[in-house]
Structure 1
Amino acid sequence: MSIFENFEKKLQAEPKSIVFTEGTDARILSAASRLLAGKTLKVILLGEVEAVKKAAADGSFDITGAEIIDPTNYAGFDEMVAKMVELRKGKMTDEQCRAALSKGNYFGTMLVKMGKADCLLG
């Protein structure tokens, strides 16, 4: 068994989650569909839910099983803002953190920091 096959078996036994910050990008959707088909990683796609679904359908990408999170409608957003303000230790205000977290890369990073995902690809 190759190192890659061994790694893949470990991931299948205990899937980790990966956040993709650009949920409507065709390259991201292609990668997500392959990962979902291989059951190696749990996939989180960021973006407006219907836009992500439409982009997947338009590109014929099967993203069944992916979690799609719209940062603008995220239930834990206030908690995330509070955590970011705490982490930034006075360098960013509540308002600045809210603005930053509206961007996928910041939002995805905070999902990882808060233990909601294991890794991020932006």
Structure 2
Amino acid sequence: MDNNIKLLGYRIDNRLYYSVENKTLISLDGSEKSIPLRTTKARLLEYLLLKSGSKIITDQELLINIWDKYGLSSSSQRLWLVMRELKVILGGFNVSDDLFMRVENNGYLVDVAFVREVVEFTRKVKTGDR
């Protein structure tokens, strides 16, 4: 991402905002419902959203980047469990099941139609001189 742009979070399925700084899911339906995510769930969600697009995010890639890099024990079962818990939480906000699609028992595909980055422009603009 450009040095003048700071990622604040993600708008998910126009129903939910995920704050990167606070690791919290916030409802956009006016109910003020919010759920803070524990570290591993937050890391998994952020990684999936960051890598969203046409490429399959493999289980191995997730295990390395969510667990192994942080000195945590990884396994396919652990990935399945955390992914299932994350989907249950997102379902509580009525987010479409199509956001994360399981592909070929090998990984996940994130549907970009459901994801929008929320950014802040940090570049200082000079005023006065033209």
Shorter-chain TM-score category?
A: under 0.3
TM-score (norm 1): 0.27
Structure with the bigger RCO (C-alpha within 8 Å, sep 6+) is 2
Which one has a bigger Cα radius of gyration? Answer: 2
TM-score (norm 2): 0.26
Q: Which has the higher helix share?
A: 1
Q: Which has the higher strand share?
A: 2
